[in-house]
């Protein structure tokens, strides 16, 4: 993997600072069935389809934006963590990074195929929502696990 596309190492702690709180709040939202937290705001929507009426294109709607904020913070944090250089970025680390990314994509799509085969109706919407995040989660987990295992065997 070309290190031209990687962020400087200084972004990694910023990423963890965004990712950990976003994960905690996200889990709280999941456990509370995404109950509104009262942070309603007017936002621009390219398309809005309410259950009670027809969809509208290019409109301003009032909605709870907590899910949006948490999702963005999670993605930005995970991107910073996953795609920041290590302190000692060498060819071995690049190889681990590339293999971990490839592995994460394979596992993610196997899980998605299982979701297609085994989950239906509105529950499938949850599968698709979680699927947005699983590639990054699997990649970060595997990459850091392999680094940890490698550092443990070296020492």
Which among 86, 105, 124 is the end of a domain? 86
Question: How many CB atoms are located within 10 Å of the residue 70 CB?
Answer: 20
Q: Are residues 117 and 144 in the same domain?
A: yes
Are residue 79 and residue 129 in the same domain, yes or no? no
User: 24: pLDDT confidence band, cut at 50, 70 and 90?
Assistant: very high
Same domain, 33 and 75: yes
Task: Tell me how many degrees the CA angle 34-37-39 measures, rounded to the nearest 5.
Answer: 125
- Residues 6+ positions from 44 with CB-CB distance below 8 Å: 58, 59, 60
- pLDDT, one tens digit per residue, over 37-96 is 678 899 998 988 877 778 888 889 888 889 899 999 999 999 999 999 999 989 999 999
pLDDT of residue 2: 63
Alpha carbon 31 to its chain centroid, in Å, reads: 18
Same domain, 58 and 81: yes
Range of the domain at 132: 90-155
Boundary of a domain, candidates 59, 86, 113:
86
Q: Give 116-153 pLDDT, tens digit per residue.
A: 999 999 899 889 999 999 999 999 999 999 999 998 88
Provide the number of structural domains found in the chain. Answer: 2
On whether both 36 and 70 belong to a single domain, the answer is yes
């Amino acid at each position: 993997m070309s290190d031209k596309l990687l962020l400087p190492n200084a972004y990694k702690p910023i990423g963890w600072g965004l990712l950990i709180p976003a994960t905690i709040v996200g889990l709280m939202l999941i456990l509370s069935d995404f109950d509104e937290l009262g942070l309603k705001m007017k936002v621009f929507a390219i398309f809005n389809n309410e259950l009670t009426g027809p969809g509208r294109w290019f409109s301003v709607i009032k909605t709870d934006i907590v899910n949006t904020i948490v999702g963005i913070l999670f993605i930005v944090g995970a991107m910073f963590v996953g795609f920041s250089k290590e302190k000692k970025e060498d060819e071995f680390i690049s190889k681990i990074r590339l293999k971990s990314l490839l592995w994460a994509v394979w596992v993610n799509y196997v899980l998605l195929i299982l979701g297609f085969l085994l989950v239906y109706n509105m529950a499938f919407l949850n599968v698709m929502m979680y699927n947005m995040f699983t590639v990054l989660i699997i990649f970060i987990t595997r990459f850091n696990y392999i680094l940890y295992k490698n550092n443990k065997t070296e020492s």
